[in-house]
Amino acid sequence: MNFNLSEEHKMIRDAARDFAQNELLPGVIERDENQHFPNDLVKKMGDLGFLGIMVDPKYGGSGMDTISYVLIMEELSKIDASASVIVSVNNSLVCYGLEAYGTEEQKQKYLTKLATGEFVGAFCLSEPEAGSDATSQKTTAIDKGDHYILNGTKNWITNGGRADVYLVIAQTDRDKGSHGINAFIIEKGMEGFHIGPKENKLGIRGSDTHTLQFNDVKVPIENRIGDDGSGFRFAMKTLSGGRIGIAAQALGIASGAYELALKYSKERKAFGTEICNHQAIAFKLADMYSDIEAARYLVMRAAWDKDQGKNYDVSSAVAKLQASKVAMQHSTEAVQIFGGNGFVKDYHVERLMRDAKITQIYEGTSEIQKIVISRSITKD
């Protein structure tokens, strides 16, 4: 096993690190405070190829591997998890979903624009009464021959107000359960498609989260993704890749908090010495370092599984479960190391702590990851 990054991977990581330091860091506190979606930064990330990282260059993508994707996600998330979730959803849920399951026509029409950042995408599965229990969709898409009629509500949708293209999961035939679900491409501006108010969130406040309403939206049959009834498996497979992105985001939040706490502990003095010389702080730093290293290997393992064409349903769930736990635990420890300063916005760690929480909730809560893992390890 080779644990070293290639020179190309190091260059990609360094480019993302430079972008995060030079472009994301200035203004990150204000974007969080004002819940400001960074349109200008999304454009720049598109220009750098960060919005279609794994997409084939023939569709406008960067043609990189999943290892590159998680390296970019970690670096962006160290500074701004609101920006990185835009990248994660666009790459893993929307671009991947279309590239893996879409028709050539759908790829030419939508993927080429999503991969370059000309369009931003959103993935719409969660509903007021069907978050974790994804087969219990209330949104319906009634088959009318050459089109479907879509009705229902989706909520907590990342990029919800800003997106141009929405992949929407809906129930076509309730009697068929998970086999009666389809995925559709919905464009902003379709008649009957309404964007509800923006959510006022604890963390990732610079990202744009909305409830969406579909009232008799006429969806052409050519906007269905995959065969009739394949929407639930489409959603599950796509979310497995999404969990690698969120695991990398959690890793970035944890390592960002750790790096800030380490630097601070070498500068801040108490009782006549830098606080890193006190064992109470040094042991916290040692725990942070080793837990983050462990999470990093799990994230890399899941990315590697995907790149090798292996099944990554379980390794992505393991990576997300562990990395999000580490993000929550150690961003909180970072605040503790900063003491009173940690409670103040200027030092960044309180934002990382608030941002960490969502990594244990979205794209499947920690409990959902445990369902995926336990079903796998207990089956015959």
Q: Total residues contacting ligand CAA (rule CB under 6 A)?
A: 24
* Binding region for ligand CAA (CB under 6 A) out of 24-32, 48-56, 118-126, 320-328: 118-126
By CB under 6 A, tell whether 237 contacts ligand CAA: yes
Beta bridge partners of 147: 220
* Binding region for ligand CAA (CB under 6 A) out of 47-55, 140-148, 212-220, 236-244: 236-244
- Give the single-character DSSP code of 91: I
Output 41 or 169, the one with its CB closest to ligand CAA: 169
9, 36, 56, 135: which one binds ligand CAA (CB under 6 A): 135
By CB under 6 A, tell whether 366 contacts ligand CAA: no
Half-sphere exposure (Cβ direction) of 323: Cα atoms closer than 13 Å: 34
By CB under 6 A, tell whether 362 contacts ligand CAA: yes
In the chain, the amino acid numbered 232 is: F
> Quick check: is 363 catalytic?
yes
Distance CA 19, CA 36 (A): 19
Task: Give strand ranges (E) for 231-347.
Answer: 269-270, 273-274
Of residues 34 through 93, those in contact with ligand CAA by CB under 6 A are 89
Catalytic residue among 74, 75, 127, 363: 363
126, 182, 324, 331: which one binds ligand CAA (CB under 6 A): 126
By CB under 6 A, tell whether 100 contacts ligand CAA: no
Q: Are 298 and 323 in contact (CB under 8 A)?
A: yes
123, 258, 264, 304: which one binds ligand CAA (CB under 6 A): 123
Output 10 or 174, the one with its CB closest to ligand CAA: 174
Which helix (H) or strand (E) segment holds residue 327: the answer is helix 313-338
Q: How far is the CB of 292 from ligand CAA (least distance, A)?
A: 23
Tokens of 372: 């995926």
Burial pattern 355-371, b for ≥16 Cβ within 10 A else e, equals bbbbbbbbbbbbebbee
Tokens 């989706």 -> residue: 154
Give Dmax over CA atoms of the chain in angstroms: 78
Q: Are 158 and 206 in contact (CB under 8 A)?
A: no
64, 134, 281, 353: which one binds ligand CAA (CB under 6 A): 134
Beta bridge partners of 150: 141, 217
Output 223 or 240, the one with its CB closest to ligand CAA: 240
In the chain, the amino acid numbered 171 is: Q
Q: Are 184 and 168 in contact (CB under 8 A)?
A: yes
Beta bridge partners of 127: 130
Q: What angle do CA 89, 93, 95 make, to 5 degrees?
A: 95
Q: How far is the CB of 26 from ligand CAA (least distance, A)?
A: 26
By CB under 6 A, tell whether 239 contacts ligand CAA: yes
Q: Are 206 and 83 in contact (CB under 8 A)?
A: yes
* Binding region for ligand CAA (CB under 6 A) out of 237-245, 267-275, 328-336, 342-350: 237-245
* Binding region for ligand CAA (CB under 6 A) out of 12-20, 54-62, 301-309, 362-370: 362-370
The residues annotated with a catalytic role in the active site are 363
Binding region for ligand CAA (CB under 6 A): 89, 123, 125-126, 132, 134-135, 156-158, 178, 232-233, 236-237, 239-240, 313, 362-364, 368, 371-372
